[in-house]
């Protein structure tokens, strides 16, 4: 009974959330048109209708609510931002829009290079992803990121991340969570780790990211929940011992990496996972996952600065994971995301990396 009430509350909350972010999404489009800078790109591939998008989003929200009803994990609570601060951030997102659109119009994406410490970071990283002011390196960008992403996905970014809780729950089932170590690679502002912490209060959690500003936001976001270890480092050179982690997750990270770095990160994940450990991957759909949606993927990098996205959507992730010793369990495509669940083999000796792919940048 209690779970059914949780489920109903969750569905009501997610409906409100959808209505709010849908409104912001439309307002942002309207404002872009007013400024005379709406994105104009006509994809050559088919695009989904609004009804198809809504149907898939509804299915995602229902599946999340049913998991709550079935007691698989707690109701969604991925945003601890107080309402007034949230509204302030929404205001800042609109204030930042003219600058963002100007950069898009002139295809300039290098304000991140003038942020302190940018010269110490890999060149592929120090750019204005999504045309955000300061890329991943400014405090303002860290504060606006979640509002921007939820506005883009009409409130579905959180539920897409939460789809990773299901395979995690299946893995943890029957094990003592106090003995398990989970690492979220490219943890950003910590939205997913907050969900994991609420589901597993005693698990040892680590969040790794290259951005000090995003890690600071993540720390604040986790608030008074039990401490997490935050690691400021590159995912391709993780300062962690071999076989020291039971579960690794990577959420919306891979599409932002050049092809060669994607492979290095995969090898690192396979290295730090213990034999038998779990890898849960969530990222964008790829070309061919839903052929009638391919046009949406094609137009995405015309709207947002995503220098490696085109390479990502046609990358052979299955082979990349298999060659690193991460064997396939399941692959699903909730709404606009791709969820891949992999397991490091018990006697893992990773195969040599792919020769041709390692030589190219996407
Ligand atoms: C699109 S965001 C996703 C963040 C978070 N996982 C989420 O679900 O919202 C990508 C994140 O990956 C981080 N990142 C990108 N390249 C990285 C790298 N090579 N090493 C560590 N973090 C990286 C960025 O700083 C950013 O926080």
Structure confidence at residue 126 (pLDDT) = 86
Q: Tell me if 190 CB under 6 Å of ligand 1.
A: no
Structure confidence at residue 321 (pLDDT) = 98
Ligand 1 mean position to 112 CA, how many Å? Answer: 15
Structure confidence at residue 362 (pLDDT) = 31
Structure confidence at residue 360 (pLDDT) = 33
| pLDDT at position 348 over 70 | no
Q: What is the mean pLDDT of residues 312-321?
A: 98
Residue 211 CA, closest ligand 1 atom number: 25
Structure confidence at residue 135 (pLDDT) = 85
Structure confidence at residue 333 (pLDDT) = 98
Q: What is the mean pLDDT of residues 16-30?
A: 93
| pLDDT at position 359 over 80 | no
Of the two residues 123 and 323, the one the predictor is more confident about is 323
Q: What is the mean pLDDT of residues 48-77?
A: 94
3-state SS, one letter per residue, for the chain: CHHHHHHHHHHHHHHHHHHHHHHHHHHHHHHHHHCCCCCCCCCCCCCCCHHHHHHHHHHHHHHHHHHHHCCCCCCCCCCCCCHHHHHHHHHHHHHHHHHHHHHHHHCCCCHHHHCCCHHHCCCCCCCCHHHCCCCCCCHHHHHHHHHHHHHHCCCCHHHHHHCCHHHHHHHHCCCCHHHCEEEEECCCCCHHHHHHHHHCCCCEEEEEECCHHHHHHHHHHHCCCCCCEEEECCCCCCCCCCCCEEEEEEECCHHHCCHHHHHHHHHHHHHHEEEEEEEEEEEECCCCCCHHHHHHHHHHHHHCCCCCHHHHHCCCHHHHHHHCCEEEEEEECCCCEEEEEEEECCCCCCCCCCHHHHCCCC
Structure confidence at residue 361 (pLDDT) = 32
Structure confidence at residue 306 (pLDDT) = 86
CA pair distance 151, 295, nearest whole angstrom: 20
Structure confidence at residue 349 (pLDDT) = 54
Q: Across the chain, what does the average pLDDT equal?
A: 91
271-301: pLDDT as tens digits: 999 999 999 999 999 999 999 999 999 998 8
| pLDDT at position 117 over 80 | yes
Nearest residue (by CA) to ligand 1, atom 1, is: 252
Q: What is the mean pLDDT of residues 32-47?
A: 83
| pLDDT at position 356 over 70 | no
| pLDDT at position 357 over 50 | no
Q: What is this structure's pTM?
A: 0.93
Which of 150, 186, 206 is the best mutation target for the ligand 1 pocket, counting ligand atoms within 8 Å of the beta carbon and taking the most? 186
Which of 212, 256, 282, 305 is the best mutation target for the ligand 1 pocket, counting ligand atoms within 8 Å of the beta carbon and taking the most? 256
Structure confidence at residue 107 (pLDDT) = 78
157-203: pLDDT as tens digits: 999 999 999 999 999 999 999 999 999 999 999 999 999 999 999 99
Q: What is the mean pLDDT of residues 5-19?
A: 89
Which range, of 5-9, 61-65, 168-172, averages the lowest pLDDT? Answer: 5-9
Residue 1 confidence class, pLDDT cut points 50, 70, 90? low
Q: Tell me if 214 CB under 6 Å of ligand 1.
A: yes
């Amino acid at each position: 009974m209690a779970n059914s009430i949780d489920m109903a509350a969750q569905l009501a909350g997610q409906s409100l959330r959808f209505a709010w972010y849908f409104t912001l999404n439309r307002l942002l489009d309207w404002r872009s048109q007013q400024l005379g800078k709406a994105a104009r790109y006509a994809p050559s591939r088919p695009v989904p209708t609004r009804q198809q998008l809504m149907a898939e989003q509804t299915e995602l929200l229902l599946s999340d609510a049913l998991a709550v009803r079935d007691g698989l994990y707690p109701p969604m609570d991925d945003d601890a931002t107080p309402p007034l601060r949230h509204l302030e951030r929404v205001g800042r997102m609109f204030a930042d829009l003219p600058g963002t659109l100007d950069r898009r119009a002139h295809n300039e994406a290098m304000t991140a290079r003038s942020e302190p410490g940018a010269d110490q970071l890999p060149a592929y990283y120090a750019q204005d992803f999504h045309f955000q002011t300061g890329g991943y390196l400014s405090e303002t960008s860290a504060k606006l990121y979640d509002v921007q992403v939820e506005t883009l996905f009409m409130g579905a970014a959180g539920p897409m991340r939460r789809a990773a809780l299901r395979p995690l729950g299946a893995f943890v089932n029957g094990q003592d969570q106090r003995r398990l170590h989970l690492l979220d690679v490219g943890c950003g502002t910590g939205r997913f780790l907050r969900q994991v912490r609420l589901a597993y209060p005693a698990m040892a959690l680590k969040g790794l990211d290259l951005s000090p500003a995003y890690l600071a936001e993540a720390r604040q976001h986790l608030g008074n929940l039990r401490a997490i270890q935050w690691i400021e480092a590159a995912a391709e050179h993780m300062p962690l011992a071999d076989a020291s982690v039971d579960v690794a997750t990577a959420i919306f990270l891979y599409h932002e990496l050049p092809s060669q770095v994607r492979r290095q990160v995969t090898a690192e994940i396979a290295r730090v996972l213990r034999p038998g450990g779990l890898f849960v991957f969530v990222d964008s759909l790829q070309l061919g996952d839903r052929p009638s949606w391919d046009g949406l993927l094609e137009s995405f990098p015309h709207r947002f600065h995503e220098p490696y996205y085109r390479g990502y959507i046609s990358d052979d992730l299955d082979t990349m994971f298999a060659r690193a010793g991460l064997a396939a369990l399941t692959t699903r495509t909730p709404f606009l995301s791709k969820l891949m669940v992999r397991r490091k083999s018990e006697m893992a000796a990773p195969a040599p990396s792919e020769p041709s792919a390692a030589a190219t940048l996407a």
